[in-house]
Chains A and B, each alone.
Chain A
Amino acid sequence: MPKTKAETAVRAKGGEAQKAPRPVRREEMSKLRWTWEEMKRNKTAYFMLAPFFLLFIIFTVLPVFLSMILSLTDFNMLQMPHFLGLSNFKRLFLEDDIFILACQNTLIFASITGPVSYILSLLIAWFINELPPKIRAVVTLVFYAPSISGNVYLIWKTLFSSDSYGWANATLMELGVINQPILWFENADYVMPLCIVVALWTSLGTAFLSFIAGFQTISRDMYEAAAVDGIKNRWQELWYITLPTMRPQMMFGAVLAITNSFGFGAIVTALCGFPSVDYAAHTIMHHLDDYGGARYEIGYASSIAVVLFVIMLASNIIIKKALSKVGE
């Protein structure tokens, strides 16, 4: 079995770069035994990992599995749960009209904010990259600041307030477009677009910084070589040279963009209240909050959480597949 032997050699070599006692040779014992010996040899590694990993299991992994189990029951925090099979999911998709509305809203919200914030982060980082370092630092701050400044997005509520002291209403009234102030956040037609704008405003976060850093790591030599090889303009350069080199950053950025595009519930609640007018900005996150936090229908809320979880993971996997085609 040449394959396992080669593997062993690699492992043993990797191990030797570590510390004494010497790594155990794979040939001498069964796979299980070998694993056990390796584990004993590396016990410091496990000790160092343990505090974080234990908390991670308790507060991230366990909740996911608990949701999956509870979604099959009618648990309500008070009585013993009964097993219901898939009837929570049936209720969600067949009887709960607000959930269907929430699904639509979430998908609209996520499919706009996710890609737009991703492309904006990438383009702006790319534009910024050409600036001289001092200016670059200032411009980076201007774009990044809204994402770290907590609930500064509440200022949009002042800008778009429902009386004539809000900037939007005042400007439109000055221009004679409207006579009456518009109730921006109480009007079902405006709620969703406004929330999307505000969400985008706060969305140039960690992924954006990651892109800026990524652009900086690409050496100038590559661009010069490309120019010699006949790359004609900056867009060709972006597609053929820059983006393929940036692929790891782009993967990381995509993961964060997708995750965040499903996490704007708090902004919507702060701007539009809960529930929003006619459920116009009601998302799956709000539905989850409603059943989990307010009505204590934990079983039902868990099934909502499971659906949301599946949507998030699925979109991540699909996007990852798509991104591996960039520059090919």
Chain B
Amino acid sequence: MSKKLRTRGHRVILNRSAGGDTGITIVLTLMGLFMFLPMYYVVIQSLKPLDELFMFPPRFYVISPTLENFSDLFTLMGDSWVPFSRYIFNTVFITICGTIGNLIFASMAAYSLAKLRFPGRNAIFQIIVLSLMFHSTVNQVTHFIILSAFGWIDTYLSIIVPSMATTIGLYLMKQFMETSVPDTVLESARLDGASEFRTFLIIAMPMVKPAWLTLMIECFKNLWNAGSSIYIHSEELKTFHYAINQIVSGGIARSGAGAAATVVMMSVPIIVFVLNQSQIIETMGSSGMKD
């Protein structure tokens, strides 16, 4: 044993050189700035009055902050026949319906895959894992055919119903249930005469609260960020995301309003994440995939 271990109290101090620590701090700071500055710039842009937006060179701070850009949002789209609030409503409506549907369907399926043993269980889970391996854009064209066969083109259903079968949430929920719901607890509920569905609802679900939050945020982030879908043509059914694209494409004069809309849009998922961060990380602890 050539090396003498450094200790503090009775704990071993691990292999950490001061040089390494400094290097890592510098890299992390630079990367952090790269990630953070554009986000920060959106917020600054949204608070700038018009004359500051046209200032050369553009500044990373604001001299006389104003909320005009936010109030402009509602007048700006006033001349189009769909009021701005309608885009917000569409996004909120789609997000809520899709997320709740996904939560209900995926938790039931996750429970059944994680805790019940039935023929076909492994095969079904393998197919679901396989679906994580390709991006849904591949299916876009045939999706269109299937949706039009249902007569769902140009309705909310074309976005809401498919989103209820998003697999990532199911996958995370199933992995989490396997590790954190002990079989013995379920067994004693069954011995007490609870039906399988009741066991799921009363016993298992409250134990996996971090997983539902994670599933909800995964589904929420996809739906909230749903852009212009090729399945929707009517202006009054289009989403907030689409409206922002329209505003931003208006160029520099609109960039304040565009930034304000973006701030509104991004603050919601960020707040949801901040409130649930520790629970989400807890769920991710069991997200691993066996070879």
**What's the minimum C-beta distance from B53 to chain A, rounded to whole angstroms?**
7
Give, as a whole number of angstroms, the nearest-CB distance from B165 to chain A.
4
Cα A256 to Cα B135 in complex, Å, equals 9
Q: How many positions in chain A have a CB within 8 Å of any CB in the partner chain? A: 119
Q: Which residues of A, 234-274, contact B by the 8 Å Cβ criterion?
A: 234, 236-237, 246-249, 251-252, 255-256, 258-260, 262-263, 265-266, 270
Q: Convert A150-182 into 0s and 1s, putting 1 for each residue whose CB lies closer than 8 angstroms to a CB of B.
A: 111011111101011111001101100000000
Check A234–B41 contact: CB distance below 8 A: no
A210 at the interface (CB under 8 A from B): yes
Q: Separation in Å of the A150 CB from the closest CB of chain B?
A: 4
Contact residues in A for B117 (Cβ distance below 8 Å): 11, 14-15, 17-18, 42
**A151 to B131 alpha-carbon distance, docked (Å):** 25
Q: Are A305 and B138 in contact, with the CB atoms below 8 A? A: yes
Q: For A159, what are the chain B residues with a Cβ–Cβ distance below 8 Å?
A: 38, 41
Residues from chain B with a CB closer than 8 A to the CB of A150 are: 224-225, 241, 244, 262, 265-266, 269
Given A61-B127, A155-B42, A233-B15, also A145-B145 (CB < 8 A)? no
> Given A227-B12, A230-B3, A288-B140, is A49 in contact with B124 using a C-beta cutoff of 8 Å?
yes
Are A67 and B139 interface neighbours, CB within 8 A?
yes
Contacting residues of chain B (233-258) with chain A, CB-CB under 8 angstroms? 241, 244-245, 248, 252, 255, 258
Q: Is residue A100 within 8 Å, beta carbon to beta carbon, of the partner chain?
A: no
In Å, the complex CA distance between A260 and B72 comes to 35
Q: Which of B31, B106, B112, B277 has a CB less than 8 Å from the CB of A140?
A: B277
Contact A213 B282 (CB under 8 A): yes
Q: Are A44 and B287 interface neighbours, CB within 8 A?
A: no
**A309 touching B138, Cβ below 8 Å:** yes
- Nearest CB on A from B67, distance (A): 19
A158–B45 CB distance below 8 A: yes
16 inter-chain pairs at a CB distance below 8 angstroms, sorted by A residue, are: A11-B117, A19-B196, A45-B112, A48-B108, A48-B109, A52-B165, A139-B28, A149-B266, A151-B265, A155-B262, A158-B45, A174-B57, A233-B20, A259-B132, A309-B138, A313-B130
